[in-house]
């Protein structure tokens, strides 16, 4: 049955986007009109723009010391310079700053603990600025990571000094993406939803080369479609099963983000979301034909699935932070129990033109899909509801 609303299977998102040209700069205004800026930081050198929603920005400086306080009220529209406790991880930082990023115009932080993150962001292309159709972008301040020396210099500036983030940007361009949503209506508890998802897209054609994406994520798309086919042949489940194929994950999880802003059903109804991402090859770090689950220590869902026959283990690549790298993370940040199932063994064809169908291990793919029919049937018919482990919710 259709699940995209208005008796449709397809949810269409119009996306307006523009790209950053060159390196953004962050400046501290001069004391007098016509003078040179007191300080200028350049992306990739003294600072990096970690997340960007709008540009240009000019706002009065305001300081917030969270290294010695639990929090404080801030002036709406300020350029917020934030100190955090030593040892705060980047993931913890994002949670800590969330309430301020809906009030401030710009948030600037620093930590010597994040130098690997700084170096990684400095190498990556800046994400495009995106808006959905004619909808205004939700207020969310860009996040800037400054090197400690530059941050300390800004901290000596008086409150009220104008801080500006600037860059050359391309004109707005309108494109579209599509989500596919279908469902198997539940019987006893139809208002409770088990959401099975994958992303439809890959990188497309770049510099004349086709990036096929056979593993990333045609394999996950096939898994969701096949599981839907098989589950639909069984007696109607107690809970509703929704299958979702997201568009434009590779462009910033656009499809999943659009779904969250325009949900055809209440997100509170989603008992659990399992995203299928790259299950077309075996991972040598786990048993043959086994699968792993991201966020294993964040919820109690994984062990329960294992008790009901799932060949699942914890993600053996914690340093890669895969929990935050697929569409599931968009839902998890909204409170939904949302985790990714995969068997990606860090093969060298990731995001390369060589991720082709001849590399897919179809025996593994078939067995991996088959291994989940029983556990998912149980999940769709039980009264059990997974929960976040205390302190592990994004």
First to last CA, the chain: 32
Taking residues 215-222, what's their average pLDDT? 97
Between 207 and 271, where is the model more confident? 271
Taking residues 49-66, what's their average pLDDT? 91
Domain holding 317, by residue range, is 174-381
The percentage of residues in the chain with a pLDDT greater than 70, rounded to a whole number, is 97
Between 52 and 12, where is the model more confident? 12
Taking residues 65-84, what's their average pLDDT? 88
75, pLDDT greater than 90? yes
Give the 3-state secondary structure of the chain: CECCCCCCCEEEEEEEEECEEEEEEEEECCCCCCCCCCEEEEECCCEEEEECCCCCEEEEEEEEECCCCCCCCCCCCCEEEEECCCCCCHHHHHHHHHHHHCCCCEEEECCHHHHHHHHHHHHCCCCCEEEECCCCCCCCCCEEEECHHHHHHHHCCCCCCEEEEEEEECCCEEEEEEEEEEEECCCCEEEEEEEEEEECCCCEEECCEEECCHHHHHHHHHHHHHHHHHHHHCCCCCEEEEEEEECCCCCCCHHHHHHHHCCCCCHHHEEEEEEECCCCCCCCCCCCCCEEECCCCCECHHHHHHHCCCCEEECCCHHHCHHHCCCHHHHHCCCCCEEEEECCCCCCCCCCCCCCHHHCCHHHHHHHHHHCHHHHHHHHHCCCCCCECCCCCC
Between 114 and 165, where is the model more confident? 165
Between 151 and 86, where is the model more confident? 151
- Asked, for residue 164, whether it belongs to a domain, the answer is yes
Question: Are 241 and 364 in a shared domain?
Answer: yes
Q: Which of 114-128, 215-229, 266-280 has the lowest mean pLDDT?
A: 114-128
Query: 118-131, pLDDT tens digit by residue?
Result: 988 888 888 778 78
Question: Are 78 and 208 in a shared domain?
Answer: no
- Asked, for residue 78, whether it belongs to a domain, the answer is yes
The percentage of residues in the chain with a pLDDT greater than 90, rounded to a whole number, is 75
Query: 317-339, pLDDT tens digit by residue?
Result: 998 999 999 999 999 999 999 99
| 132 band by pLDDT with thresholds 50, 70 and 90 | confident
Q: With contact defined as beta carbons under 8 Å apart, do 239 and 190 qualify?
A: yes
- Asked, for residue 6, whether it belongs to a domain, the answer is no
Mean pLDDT over each residue of the chain, to the nearest integer: 93
Per-residue model confidence (pLDDT) at position 17: 85
Question: Are 258 and 375 in a shared domain?
Answer: yes
134, pLDDT greater than 60? no
Q: With contact defined as beta carbons under 8 Å apart, do 304 and 374 qualify?
A: no
Query: Quick one: tokens of 291?
Result: 């699968």
Q: With contact defined as beta carbons under 8 Å apart, do 131 and 15 qualify?
A: yes
**Residue at which a domain ends, from 169, 203, 222:** 169
**Residue at which a domain ends, from 122, 140, 169:** 169
CA distance 340 to 325: 9
CATH number, residue 126:
3.50.30.30
CA distance 332 to 328: 6
15, pLDDT greater than 90? no
- Asked, for residue 394, whether it belongs to a domain, the answer is no
CATH number, residue 297:
3.40.630.10
76, pLDDT greater than 60? yes
Taking residues 334-347, what's their average pLDDT? 97
Query: 226-263, pLDDT tens digit by residue?
Result: 999 999 999 999 999 999 999 999 988 899 999 999 99
User: What is the total count of domains within the chain?
Assistant: 2
385, pLDDT greater than 70? yes
Between 19 and 341, where is the model more confident? 341
Per-residue model confidence (pLDDT) at position 62: 96
136, pLDDT greater than 70? no
- Asked, for residue 61, whether it belongs to a domain, the answer is yes
The dihedrals phi and psi of 342, each to the nearest 5 degrees, come to -155, 170
| 34 band by pLDDT with thresholds 50, 70 and 90 | low
160, pLDDT greater than 60? yes
CB contact set of 121 (below 8 Å; sequence gap of 6+): 48, 49, 50, 145
- Asked, for residue 3, whether it belongs to a domain, the answer is no
135, pLDDT greater than 70? no
Interhelix angle 373-381/220-233, rounded to 10 degrees, is: 60
Question: Are 138 and 191 in a shared domain?
Answer: no
CB contact set of 204 (below 8 Å; sequence gap of 6+): 210, 211
Per-residue model confidence (pLDDT) at position 112: 85
Q: Which of 37-41, 55-59, 123-127, 240-244 has the lowest mean pLDDT?
A: 123-127
Out of 80-89, 246-255, 340-349, the most confident range is 340-349
| 182 band by pLDDT with thresholds 50, 70 and 90 | very high
Question: Are 142 and 182 in a shared domain?
Answer: no
Question: Are 315 and 178 in a shared domain?
Answer: yes
Question: Are 348 and 208 in a shared domain?
Answer: yes
Per-residue model confidence (pLDDT) at position 16: 85
Q: With contact defined as beta carbons under 8 Å apart, do 110 and 151 qualify?
A: yes
Question: Are 152 and 185 in a shared domain?
Answer: no
**Residue at which a domain ends, from 169, 185, 212:** 169
Question: Are 165 and 204 in a shared domain?
Answer: no
167, pLDDT greater than 60? yes
Question: Are 150 and 233 in a shared domain?
Answer: no
70, pLDDT greater than 80? no
Query: Quick one: tokens of 392?
Result: 């592990």
Question: Are 109 and 182 in a shared domain?
Answer: no
110, pLDDT greater than 70? yes
Question: Are 69 and 193 in a shared domain?
Answer: no
């Amino acid at each position: 049955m259709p699940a995209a609303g208005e008796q449709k299977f397809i949810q269409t998102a119009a996306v307006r986007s523009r790209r950053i040209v060159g390196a953004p700069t962050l400046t501290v205004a001069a004391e007098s009109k016509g003078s040179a800026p007191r300080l200028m930081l350049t992306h990739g050198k003294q600072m990096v723009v970690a997340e960007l929603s709008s540009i240009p920005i000019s706002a009065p400086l305001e300081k917030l010391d969270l290294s010695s306080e639990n929090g404080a009220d801030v002036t709406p529209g300020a350029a917020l310079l934030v100190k955090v406790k030593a040892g705060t991880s980047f993931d913890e930082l994002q949670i800590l700053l969330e309430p301020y990023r809906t009030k401030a115009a710009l948030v600037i932080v620093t930590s010597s603990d994040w130098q690997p993150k700084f170096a990684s962001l400095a190498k990556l292309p800046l994400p495009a600025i995106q808006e959905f159709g004619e909808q205004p972008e939700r207020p969310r301040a860009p996040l800037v990571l400054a090197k400690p020396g530059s941050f300390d210099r800004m901290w000596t500036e008086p409150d009220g000094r104008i801080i500006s983030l600037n860059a050359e940007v391309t004109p707005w361009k309108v494109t579209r993406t599509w989500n596919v949503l279908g469902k198997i209506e539940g019987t006893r508890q139809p208002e409770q939803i088990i959401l099975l998802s994958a992303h439809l897209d890959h990188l497309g054609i770049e510099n004349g080369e086709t990036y096929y994406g056979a593993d990333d994520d045609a394999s996950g798309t096939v898994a969701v479609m096949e599981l839907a086919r098989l589950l639909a042949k069984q007696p109607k489940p107690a809970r509703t099963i929704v299958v979702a194929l997201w568009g434009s994950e590779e462009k910033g999880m656009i499809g999943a983000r659009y779904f969250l802003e325009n949900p055809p059903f209440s997100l509170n109804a989603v008992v659990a979301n399992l995203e299928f991402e790259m299950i077309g090859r075996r991972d040598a770090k786990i048993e043959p034909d086994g699968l792993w689950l991201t966020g294993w220590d964040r919820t109690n869902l994984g062990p329960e699935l294992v008790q009901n026959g799932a060949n699942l283990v914890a993600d053996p690549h914690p340093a890669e932070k895969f929990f935050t790298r697929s569409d599931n993370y968009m839902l998890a940040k909204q409170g939904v129990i949302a985790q990714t199932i995969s068997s990606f063994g860090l093969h060298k064809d990731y995001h390369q033109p060589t991720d082709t169908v001849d590399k897919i291990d179809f025996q593994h793919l078939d067995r991996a899909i088959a291994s989940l029919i029983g556990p998912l049937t149980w999940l769709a018919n039980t009264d059990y509801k997974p929960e976040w482990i205390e302190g592990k919710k994004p």
